[in-house]
Structure 1
Amino acid sequence: LPTKRKKGSTDEEEDPKLEFEAKYVELNPLGEGGCGSVFNGYRKSDKLLVAIKHIPNENIYCTHFDESGRELSVEVAVMLKLQSGTSNSVGSKAPITLLDWYVLPHELILVLERPMPASDLLSYIERHGGSLKESEAKIILKQLVEAAIHLQNEKIFHRDIKLENILIEMCSGTPRVRIIDFGLSCFTETNSNHNTFYGTECHVPPEWLFRYKYSAGPTTVWQLGIVLFECLHKKNFNSSSFIRKKIKINNRLSKDCKDFFKQCFTRDPKERPSLEQIHLHPCIIKQNNIDVENFIASCVPATIKLL
C-alpha cells in the first residue's frame, strides 16, 4: 500500500499519522481480533463518536485498484463502493460508514461510524438468556436479508456474516440492523466460484467441505440460516456437525421457521434458494406483530465489536 494519506489528499508530504491525530482523539480499546485492534474515540470538530480500527499491513490480505488507479485495501474499496451514489450521510445504509482512512508505513487506520446505543447481536442474545423469541429474530432476519441483497447488487461478498459482525442499533423507533467488518470481503459475481475460503471455519457451506469451491449467493444464504439458528437455539452452529446430523432444529419452532431453515440449509448450492427467493419466504413476509417498544427497551447498550 502507498504511504499516502486517505481520500482526497493533494499534499503527498503530509504525515498521515499527524493528520489523524489532529482530527481524532483515540481512547480506550473496544476489542481485538485476528485482523487488528479497535479503539473508542471521537472527532475533535464535533465530538462525533467513532471506532478506530488499526490493521497491521501483514493482515491486509488483498488490495484493489480503483478507477483512478489508487491501490486500496479491499476493505476500504468495498466500503467506498457501498457509500457511493448516496448523500454520504453517516449511517444512511445498513453497512457501517467509513469516515476516514489513513495509510501508514506499517498499518492502516480506519475511522468508522460508531452507532450508539447499539450492541452486537451476540451480546444481545447472551443478555437475553442465550436465545431470542422467534418474533424478535424475524425482525432482525428480514433486515439482514435486505442488507445481503444490497451487497449482492453492488457485487460485494461479505464472506463472514455472523452474530459478531451484526449490530443492533437502537437510536430510532425500531431496532435497526447494521453490518460491520468488511475485512474479508471481496468484489464478485453472485455465482463466481472461489477456491480459497475466508471466513469463520465452522460456518463453511457444504460445497466447500465436499468440493472446496463456494460462491457468494449460496454461501450468504447458508450464513443467514446460521444467524437465525444461533438466534433461536442456545448452541453454536457447526456446518460439519449439522451435515452429520449431530445438530438438530428445534421442533417447537413454527412451520414457516423450520421450512426457512430447510431452504437455507439445502446441501446442493444449485438447489439452495437465492437471496431474492428467501426474501419472499413466509418466515419473513408473514412476521407476527410484536411490541416493538418493549423490544427496544430491552436492548441495553453494550460494547460494540468492529473486528
Structure 2
Amino acid sequence: MKCLLQVLKFIDRRGIKEWGKISDEQVPMEIVMLARCAKIEGVIRLLEWYQIPEGYLIVMERPFPIHGHVSILIKAHTTLDEDIAAFLMRQIVETIQSCIEKRVLHRDLKDENIVIDLVTGETKLIDFGAATVLKKSHYTDFQGTRLYCPPEWFLHSLYLGKEAAVWSLGVLLYNALNGRLPFRNEKDICTAHLLGPLPFYSPVSPEARDLISRCLHFDPFARCSINEMLSHPWLRRDRPSWTTLVTRLDSLSTPSSTSDNKENIDQNGDHSEELEEIHDSDWRDTQVKERVEPETDESGVGSSHDNHTESRPVRESRTAKTSLLVPPSSQEMKEVVSGVKTKSSLQSTSSQPMVVALRPRRVRNAPGDDRSPPVLTALRSALSRERASKLSKV
C-alpha cells in the first residue's frame, strides 16, 4: 500500500486579508485558489482543510522525493546551465498558464516558492498565501516579494495581473542564469530602463537575453505574454533529457569563477559605474548614500578617514543620474485604471525630471511581535479540545 506523504500549514485567522467561498462556506482565499488548481500537475495539491478557533489548518501533499526549492539549487551551483534552466522554466511557465486559465493569480512567483524533484526534474508551485482571483482590471494591493514586483506598482500603486506575472518570471529567469537578482531595491526597478541593457554576470545566449528583456520591459503593455514566452525560441528549443542534464550539476560554475566573471564585466553592460558630481539640490533628491573614496589600496573600499579628505557622492545601487519619472496625467491615469491599452500610458513623455516618492516598505510584523501562534501551538490546542470532548462523553 502506497503511503501519501502530507504537509500541514497553519493560517492565522488574524492575518487573513482576503476571503472566498467553497460550498457557501467562507474560507481564506488561499484555500479557494488551491482548490481551483487541484488538477494542475505543477501545483501542490490540496488534500483537506480544517477550521479551528485560531484559524485554519490545510493539509497538502508532500511530493517525494523533494530535494528543496529552486533557490537552493541556484545557491548550490551559483548559476544554472541554460539547458537546465530552460527545462525547469518551461514547466513553471506552463504551470502559470494553467493557473491563469483557472483565473488564479499567484502574485508571489519566486525561486523559493518552487520545489524540485532532482530525480525526475519535476517542479511544483507552492505557497498560495498571496494568490487571488485573476481579473481584467488593475490591482491596487500587493502581498508578494518586492524585488519581484514590477515598476508600475512602485510608481503608480497599481498593476495588471498577467503583466506582473510575466515580470516576476523574467526576474526568476535572470536569477537562475546569473545567480543574483537583477535589482537590489525599488529605485533599481524603476530606473533600470534608463541605464540601458541589464548586465549579465555569466555567459548567457542572445536568445535567453532576448527573452529576459521582453519579460522585464518597463512598459507593461509592451511585455511579452505567457503564450509568447512559451513560443519563444529559447524555450521551444529541443533540450536533452533530465537524466542527461542532471549529470551537469556537478560541473556548473563555482562561486569563485562567478566572482571572477563579475569583475570582468563589459563596461558597456555594467550598471554600477559611479555618478558624476552633482549639485547639492540634485544630491538631496536622489537620496543616495555618500561614502569616501580611499586614496590607497590599503584603505579598503569605502573606508572612512579620520582626517578630512575630499569626498564626492558615489552610487551604491543601480540608480539613474536623473530622478525617477514624471507622474502620469489625470487622463493617462484614467486610461490605465479603466484598463485601456495605450502605447505607453504608464511612461512619461516629459523631458523635465521630477522626483516621485516611492511607497515606503511595508513591515508585516514588527520585531519581537509574537502574536501569530506557531503551528504546533494550534495543533496542541485542537488536539487538547478533541481529547477533552471524547473524555466528557465517556
TM-score range, shorter chain: 0.7 to 0.9
Is the alpha carbon distance of 1:46 and 1:290 closer, same or farther for their aligned partners in structure 2, counting shifts above 3 Å?
A: closer
1:121 equivalent in structure 2: 70
Residues 1:63 and 2:11 are matched in the alignment: no
The alpha-carbon deviation at position 116 of structure 1 amounts to 1.6
What is the match of residue 265 of structure 1?
216
Amino acid at match of 1:169: D
State the alpha-carbon separation in 1 of the partners of residues 249 and 42 from structure 2.
19
What residue identity is the alignment partner of 2:129? G
Alpha-carbon distance between aligned partners in 1 of 2:19 and 2:112, rounded to the nearest angstrom: 24
Q: 1:176 to 1:240 in 2, by over 3 A?
A: farther
2:320 maps to which residue?
Answer: none
CA contact (8 A) 1:124 1:299 kept: no
CA RMSD across the alignment: 2.2
1:79-90 to 2 correspondence within 5 Å? Answer: 79-83=34-38, 86=39
2:322 corresponding residue in structure 1 = none
Match for residue 204 of structure 2?
A: 253
8 A Cα contact 2:83 2:245, kept in partner = no
Match for residue 158 of structure 1? 106
Question: Is the Cα–Cα contact under 8 Å of residues 202 and 240 in structure 1 kept in the other structure?
Answer: no
For the 8 Å contact 2:105–2:161, the answer to whether it is kept is yes
Q: Are residue 140 (structure 1) and residue 88 (structure 2) matched? A: yes
> What residue in structure 2 maps to residue 217 of structure 1?
162
Structure 1 residue 58, shift from structure 2 partner: 1.4
Give the C-alpha shift of residue 70 in structure 1: 1.1
Name the CA shift for 1:100/1:235 in 2 (closer, same or farther; >3 Å): same
CA offsets, 1:10-34, max 9 Å, x none? Answer: xxxxxxxxxxxxxxxxxxxxxxxxx
Higher normalized contact order (CA 8 Å, seq sep 6+, divided by chain length): 1
- Give yes or no for contact 1:230–1:237 (8 Å, CA) kept in 2: yes
* Matched residue, 1:33: none
**Whole-Å Cα distance in 2 between the matches of residues 243 and 294 of structure 1?**
40
Unaligned runs of 5+ in 1: 1-44, 87-91, 301-307
Question: CA shift at 1:248, angstroms?
Answer: 2.1
In the alignment, the residues of structure 1 paired with residue 211 and residue 190 of structure 2 have an alpha-carbon distance, to the nearest angstrom, of: 16
**Which 4+ residue blocks in structure 1 deviate beyond 6 angstroms?**
none
Secondary structure, counterpart of 1:178 in structure 2: strand
| 1:166-197 alpha-carbon deviations (Å, 9 max, x no partner) | 011245xx4111100001100122x3200111
Identity rate, percent: 26
**Which residue number in structure 1 is paired with residue 331 of structure 2?**
none
Match of 2:50 among 83, 99, 102: 102
What are the superposed Cα offsets for residues 140-168 of structure 1, whole Å, 9 maximum, x if unpaired? 11111111110111111000010000011
Q: CA separation of 1:278/1:241 partners in 2, compared to 1, >3 Å: closer, same or farther? A: same
Asked if the contact 2:153/2:159 (under 8 Å) is kept, the reply is: yes
Deviations 1:196-222 (A, max 9, x none): 111001221011122111111101100
| Secondary structure of 1:244's aligned partner | helix
- 1:234-249 equivalences under 5 Å are 234-238=179-183, 240-245=187-192, 248-249=199-200
Partner secondary structure for residue 209 of structure 1: helix
Cα distance in 1 between the residues matched to 2:2 and 2:56: 24
Shift of 1:290: 2.9
Aligned length: 243
Query: Do the aligned partners of 2:11 and 2:55 also contact (CA within 8 Å) in 1?
Result: yes
| Greater share of strand | 1
Mapped to 2, the partners of 1:232 and 1:277 lie a distance apart of 20
Between 224-233 and 246-255, the greater mean CA deviation after superposition: 246-255
User: Would the aligned equivalents of 2:44 and 2:124 in 1 still touch at CA under 8 Å?
Assistant: yes
Counterpart CA distance in 1 for 2:202 and 2:248 is: 27
- Would you tell me which structure has more helix in proportion to its own residues? 2
Deviation at 1:295, TM superposition (A): 3.5
What does residue 20 of structure 1 align with? none
Tell me the SS of whatever aligns to 1:262: helix
Q: Deviations over 1:62-119 (max 9, x none)?
A: 11023x3111111111111112xx5xxxxx6111001111110002111111112222
Determine if contact 2:178/2:202 at 8 Å carries over to the other structure: no
**Structure having the higher Rg:** 2
Q: CA deviation at 1:234?
A: 2.3
Q: Which amino acid aligns with 2:72?
A: S
Give the C-alpha shift of residue 244 in structure 1.
Answer: 3.0
**Cα 1:250–1:257, aligned 2, differ >3 Å: closer, same or farther?**
farther
Instruction: State the Cα deviation string for residues 261-283 of structure 1 (Å, max 9, x = none).
Output: 11001111111111111111111
Unaligned runs of 5+ in 2: 251-394
Residues in 2 aligned to 1:197 and 1:65: alpha-carbon distance in whole angstroms: 21
Distance 1:291-1:70 versus aligned 2 partners, 3 A rule: closer
